[in-house]
């Protein structure tokens, strides 16, 4: 019995000793963090006796499986992870101790729960309030403030898109609370407001609301007019003011207050006088009326004042389908219609045009039919049929009289034989056949472009209609631009090589979307003068040349007159990934044949192409350029020269470079069965290294190149030779 009692006493003594074995140095007390942020809870402890200690975390008295580290991490805090956490620490014997509880509180982001509303007020003194509510860290604004949460509120006013921070003054009160008081006495008619509230986790804005000063005490109207430049005019207002407020006035033009101007009188009165009125005074006018002593104002309706003047001609031009200065015209190739194009200064007043031939009136037109303008220039096109078409030697004179209720003007006199250099719309373009060109439709139609369907077409051949929007290999057409990216499709219109240029006419037809009929609006025309370019009769071909031989590397044959000075630039690149390098500049022999001859080396293997150009005297156009096909040059050793009577195989090899085996894929040109053939491998000196027979009708052949030393080799099959690299 004494022995059992002794053992019991020793056990109790051991428990008492181990209870003081674990020492907690520090641990997390409590954390308040925003939802989505990372949270760490940690404990630091040790065993005085040196025992290994272990950790186990609990949440709300429930064990957290797998959480046995002294650090508990919540990488993205969720709302349901709020709670009480503690850690159980054991020394591996029989000593266990618990940390004090650590509270984690997940804070919700700030959110608007009630938006402010628009407010309408009258002219009298009145205080209005804008109010909103929100949750900050999961609490209402009042509770959040009482609870000591971080809460910051700021009201703003929006003026012309700019946010202005408000301050407490005689107009605003509560700019840093959720209730804003506004004294509307000295406010303008309308005001836009919003509030910004910031909590610990984020910042939110309320919607923007309007404080509207609603009043129907004033009614203002004005009437527009048309005038001729130089006259004295006035713009009167009609104001209903039943309460007899003292009023102040300000006239506006095109949306901006009118400043002091020599010919303007009464810009701060109810009647604006023009003494006199100028063409530059054309525009939109309105009157702003303000009740004196307040910031309340009212605008009148806006009216348009047209100020015209007597017609002014820019120039006159006669057009046929072929420019009268080209060989085509003098060879008698003139179409059966003619245009007289009138370019004049744009005018707010309608203009009437009368067209005369040799003093006889032949047609009348009105500016309403002129729908094209470029800056302050307008364009009127007058089309005539056979009745008035002159022959190529006709010297009849043409002129135009223009008039409106402001005056009259006379144009210069022109004829087909005395044509004027008139091109204010940049309609004439000179280019080479291989040069891209952009034609831009720069005018203001009466109907918006987005309401119309625009079709570009060539008047030379109705086959070329450019529907928009459309993209092809040769052109891109949009509503206001035609991009001719490749003019090769125009080749069929070229008569012969001796004609160095010709004209094309591009017209723009416009019709409403969904309606097949052409509208009244048609723009005509753009003229393209296309110059000739060097014509290649025979293109160069791929070549296989023998190393160290003198041979023709590149050859072109031209189909041009020998007296045209063609210049050829030859370019070389080792692979399609390299930048081409200019290696030769030469002139064809007798203007027709270009050769590049040299002693061939392995470094000459690669790709070649040439660029050719020449200049023509007509209109000083320099045509550039014609580009040949790209050819591949292969250089082989002397020992593997192929025979002309051998069967021609086409084959490819994979992989390349190779280490042990290569696969040869064969494609025989002949459909006849072949008894046998052989594949040969040569080194750079032309020495045969491998030779194997290929069975009849074989489509693939596996070749063992494992015993070959590292280097460059050539594989020959039939008449074809391919290079591969052994690695």
Q: What is the largest CA-CA distance in the chain?
A: 154
Q: What is the pLDDT of residue 646?
A: 44
Least confident of 213-227, 340-354, 491-505, 542-556: 491-505
Share of the chain above pLDDT 90, in %: 24
Residue that has been written with the tokens 């086959």 in this structure: 463
- pLDDT band of 585, cuts 50, 70, 90: confident
Q: Alpha-carbon distance 295 to 185, whole Å?
A: 8
Share of the chain above pLDDT 70, in %: 70
Q: Alpha-carbon distance 703 to 679, whole Å?
A: 9
**Does 234 score more than 50 pLDDT?**
yes
**Does 70 score more than 80 pLDDT?**
yes
Q: Alpha-carbon distance 342 to 325, whole Å?
A: 20
**Does 726 score more than 60 pLDDT?**
yes
Least confident of 441-450, 510-519, 546-555, 566-575: 510-519
Residue 62 CB partners (closer than 8 Å, separation 6+)? none
**DSSP type of residue 490:** G
3-state class of 145 per DSSP? helix
Higher pLDDT, 264 or 496: 264
Least confident of 419-423, 543-547, 663-667: 419-423
For the ranges 33-37, 293-297, 381-385, the maximum mean pLDDT occurs at 33-37
Instruction: For residues 157-180, give the mean pLDDT.
Output: 90
**DSSP states of 413-441:** PBBTTB-----TT--EEEEETT--EEEE-
Instruction: For residues 622-629, give the mean pLDDT.
Output: 74
Higher pLDDT, 602 or 478: 602
**Does 697 score more than 50 pLDDT?**
yes
Instruction: For residues 533-562, give the mean pLDDT.
Output: 81
Return the structure tokens found at 134: 């929100």
Least confident of 306-310, 334-338, 395-399, 669-673: 669-673
- pLDDT band of 567, cuts 50, 70, 90: confident
Q: What is the pLDDT of residue 288?
A: 94
7-26 pLDDT tens trace: 343 333 343 344 578 889 88
- pLDDT band of 290, cuts 50, 70, 90: confident
Q: Alpha-carbon distance 479 to 471, whole Å?
A: 13
Q: What is the pLDDT of residue 16?
A: 38
Q: How far is CA 470 from CA 209, 243, 252, 439, 440, in A?
A: 46, 63, 45, 15, 16
3-state class of 594 per DSSP? strand
Q: How far is CA 158 from CA 191, 208, 288, 442, in A?
A: 7, 9, 21, 39
Instruction: For residues 610-619, give the mean pLDDT.
Output: 63
Instruction: For residues 429-445, give the mean pLDDT.
Output: 65
Q: Alpha-carbon distance 454 to 615, whole Å?
A: 36
73-109 pLDDT tens trace: 999 998 888 999 999 999 877 788 899 899 998 888 9
**Does 430 score more than 70 pLDDT?**
no
**DSSP states of 179-237:** EEEEEGGG--SEEEEEEEEE-SS-EEEPPPEEEEE---S-EEEE---EEETT--EEEEE
Instruction: For residues 707-717, give the mean pLDDT.
Output: 84
Instruction: For residues 32-55, give the mean pLDDT.
Output: 90
Mean pLDDT rounded to a whole number for the chain: 77
The C-alpha angle with vertex 339 and arms to 336 and 345, in degrees rounded to 5, equals 175
| Contact in structure between 484 and 504 (CB atoms under 8 Å) | no
Q: Alpha-carbon distance 171 to 130, whole Å?
A: 13
Instruction: For residues 222-243, give the mean pLDDT.
Output: 90
């Amino acid at each position: 019995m004494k022995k059992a009692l002794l053992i019991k006493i020793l056990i109790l003594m051991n428990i008492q000793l181990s209870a003081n074995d674990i020492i907690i140095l520090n641990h997390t007390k409590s954390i308040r963090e925003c939802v989505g942020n990372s949270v760490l809870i940690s404990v630091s402890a040790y065993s005085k006796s040196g025992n290994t200690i272990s950790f186990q975390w609990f949440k709300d008295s429930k064990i957290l499986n797998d959480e046995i580290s002294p650090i508990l991490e919540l990488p993205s805090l969720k709302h349901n992870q709020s709670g009480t956490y503690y850690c159980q620490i054991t020394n591996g014997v029989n000593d266990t101790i618990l940390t004090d509880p650590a509270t984690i509180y997940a804070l919700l982001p700030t959110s608007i729960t009630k938006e402010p509303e628009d407010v309408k007020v009258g002219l009298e003194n009145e205080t209005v309030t804008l109010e909103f509510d929100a949750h900050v860290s999961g609490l209402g604004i009042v509770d959040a403030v009482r609870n000591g949460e971080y809460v910051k509120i700021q009201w703003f006013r929006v003026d012309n898109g700019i946010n202005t921070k408000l301050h407490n003054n005689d107009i605003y009160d509560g700019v840093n609370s959720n209730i804003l008081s506004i004294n509307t006495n000295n406010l303008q008619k309308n005001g836009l407001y919003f509030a910004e509230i910031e909590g610990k986790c984020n910042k939110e804005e309320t919607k923007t609301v309007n404080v509207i000063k609603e009043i129907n005490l004033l009614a203002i109207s004005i009437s527009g007019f048309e005038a001729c430049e130089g006259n004295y005019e006035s713009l009167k207002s009609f104001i209903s003011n039943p309460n007899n407020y003292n009023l102040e006035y300000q006239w506006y033009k095109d949306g901006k207050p009118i400043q002091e101007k020599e010919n303007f009188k009464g810009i701060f009165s109810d009647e604006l006088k023009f003494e006199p009125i100028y063409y530059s005074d054309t525009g939109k006018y309105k009157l702003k009326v303000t009740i004196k002593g307040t910031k309340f104002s009212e605008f009148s309706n806006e009216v348009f004042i047209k100020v015209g003047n007597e017609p002014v001609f820019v120039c006159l031009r006669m057009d046929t389908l072929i420019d009268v200065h080209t060989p085509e015209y003098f060879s008698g190739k003139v179409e059966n219609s003619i245009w007289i194009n009138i370019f004049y200064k744009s005018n707010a007043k309608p203009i009437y045009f009368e067209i005369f031939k040799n003093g006889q009136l032949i047609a009348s037109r009105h500016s309403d039919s002129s729908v094209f303008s470029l800056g302050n220039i307008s364009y009127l096109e007058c089309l005539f049929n056979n009745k008035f078409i002159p022959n190529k030697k006709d010297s009849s004179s043409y002129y135009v009289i223009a008039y409106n209720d402001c005056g009259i003007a006379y144009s210069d006199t022109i004829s087909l034989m005395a044509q004027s250099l008139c091109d204010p719309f940049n309609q004439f373009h000179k280019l080479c056949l291989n040069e891209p060109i952009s034609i831009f439709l720069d005018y203001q139609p009466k109907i918006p472009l987005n309401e119309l369907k625009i079709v570009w077409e060539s008047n030379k051949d109705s086959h070329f209609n450019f529907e928009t929007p459309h993209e092809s290999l040769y052109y891109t057409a949009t509503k206001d631009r035609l991009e001719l990216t490749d003019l090769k499709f125009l080749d069929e219109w070229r008569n012969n090589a001796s004609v160095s240029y010709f004209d094309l006419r591009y017209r723009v037809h416009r019709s409403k979307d969904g309606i097949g009929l052409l509208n009244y609006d048609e723009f005509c025309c753009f003229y393209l003068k296309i110059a000739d370019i060097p014509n290649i009769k025979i293109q160069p071909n791929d070549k296989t040349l023998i190393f160290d031989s003198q041979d023709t590397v590149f050859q072109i044959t031209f189909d041009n007159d020998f007296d045209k000075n063609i210049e050829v630039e030859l370019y070389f690149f080792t692979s399609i990934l390299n930048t081409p390098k200019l290696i030769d500049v030469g002139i064809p022999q007798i203007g027709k044949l270009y050769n590049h001859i040299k002693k061939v080396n392995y470094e000459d293997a690669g790709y070649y192409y040439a660029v050719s150009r020449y200049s023509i005297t007509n209109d000083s156009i320099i045509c550039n350029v014609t580009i040949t096909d790209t050819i591949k040059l292969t250089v082989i050793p002397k020992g593997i020269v192929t025979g002309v009577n051998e069967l021609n195989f086409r084959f490819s090899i994979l992989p390349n470079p190779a280490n042990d085996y290569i696969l040869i894929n064969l494609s025989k040109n002949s459909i006849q069965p072949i008894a046998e053939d052989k594949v040969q491998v040569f080194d750079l000196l032309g020495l045969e290294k491998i030779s194997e027979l290929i069975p009849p009708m074989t489509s693939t052949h596996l070749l063992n190149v494992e015993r070959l030393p590292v280097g460059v080799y050539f594989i020959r099959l039939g008449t074809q030779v391919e290079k591969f690299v052994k690695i």
